[in-house]
Amino acid sequence: MNRPALFPAARARVTAIARLCRLWCVACCVAACGVAPHASAAELQLNGLYQRPDGAITVRLNGAGIDPYFASKALLAAADAGLDAHQAALAWIAWLLPRQRPDGGFDRYCMKSGQYSACAEADADDAMMATWIELLARFAPPDGLPAAWELSLNRASAHLDTLLAKPTGVYQISSTLRVALLMDNVEVHSAFQALAAYYVRHADSTHAGPWSQRADRLASAILKVFWRGTQSGFRASTQRISDTTFYPAKVAQIFPLLSGIQVPEQSNDTIYAQWMQKYGKTWLQLAGSDYPWGLIALVALKMNDRNTVACWHARSGPYRHGAHWNVLEEALYLAFESRMADPVAPAQCGFTTAATTETASR
């Protein structure tokens, strides 16, 4: 026998209760990912390497270039991987916040003779706004966002709103580059979830509900715009690009798992297993010639595949601080290292160390 339909008022109450329960779960998950780290969590140590005494975080080891996206992403990733990134994050926020433009955006900075100057625009405004919003929401003090943080967050949110392509519901790279990228939109989705979780932690359902709804709407729009079915998977961009490239085409297939976006035809476990079977070996070998893509190891950690995380750590270690190493890779490397009782020998993962490879090639 069919259950009777709920009256509208009762249905609305049930929906509201279910949403708040889900938001509370998200808030607990965010706390578990590093916003409220366990007392025994190791602290992210970037001082003297990638973070200067004034709080600025460089892209490269002791470098002169500062990209706010990479710095913010590194702090979030470290927290997701279990490190206590509070001190590094607070110092970074204190450095960057007064440099926010009046329109809410950020530039990239260069340092010369001890002075900082804006030397380039952000690579992607949508991703930059998303990472900054999430950073503020997740590292806010227990008593809530300071007034300056809240003002900055509102400016970033308003700037992000200008990048929404209303017909499709997804966000575009910038006001001058009207192209939508899957990975950027996943980061925006993650930021909306973080804001919803922040307001749940502060028992503010008035603000939590709308942000949760925005996250849900964006997840639906992402699937509508980018998902092509199980045979073709995600497209990485609304602009036509080759499906054969590792980045962004192959990375895009697994990146939505970081934000918990669920496709209709497959479980996330299946998507992850199939991706690793197809591209896992190629990915682990990248460190020797390209960027090592530690974010994929973060996906592996989220999927409880600790062996793969250990193998990425073993494979990437010999190339640490090299030409393709940046602060994001460093933060993840340190986070994974802090979780390991005993490092994995490279041979256990089916590859040799950099030193062995170089010796054999002579």
> In the prediction, which pLDDT does 166 show?
95
Tokens of 334: 């340190």
> In the prediction, which pLDDT does 347 show?
65
Q: Is the dihedral of CA 159, 196, 94, 40 positive or negative?
A: negative
Q: What is the mean pLDDT of residues 126-137?
A: 99
Reduced to 3 states, what is the DSSP secondary structure of residue 319? helix
Tokens of 320: 């640490």
Mean pLDDT score of the chain, rounded to an integer?
Answer: 88
Class of domain 19-361: mainly alpha
Say yes or no to pLDDT of 330 above 90. Answer: yes
> In the prediction, which pLDDT does 3 show?
34
Q: Among the residues of 140-267, which ranges form H helices? A: 147-161, 182-201, 205-226, 251-254
> In the prediction, which pLDDT does 33 show?
39
43 phi, psi to nearest 5 deg: -95, 140
pTM of the model: 0.87
Largest CA distance in the chain: 78
Indicate the angle between helix axes 68-80 and 327-339, nearest 10 degrees: 10
Strand partners, 170: 165
pLDDT in tens, 209-231: 999 999 999 999 999 999 999 99
The residue behind tokens 């990425």 is: 312
| Residue 352 binned pLDDT confidence (cut-offs 50, 70, 90) | low
Give the H or E element holding residue 164.
strand 164-165
What order of strands is seen across the sheet that includes strand 115-121? 65-66, 107-112, 115-121
pLDDT in tens, 71-102: 999 999 999 999 999 999 999 999 999 999 99
CA distance 169 to 166: 5
| Residue 38 binned pLDDT confidence (cut-offs 50, 70, 90) | very low
Taking CA atoms, 62 is separated from 79, 111, 112, 330, in Å, by 22, 11, 13, 13
Residues in the chain: 362
Contacts of residue 47, defined as CB under 8 A and 6 or more positions apart, other chains included, come to 53, 88
Strand partners, 121: 107
Q: pLDDT over 70 for what percent of the chain?
A: 85
Cα radius of gyration (the chain) = 21
Reduced to 3 states, what is the DSSP secondary structure of residue 204? coil
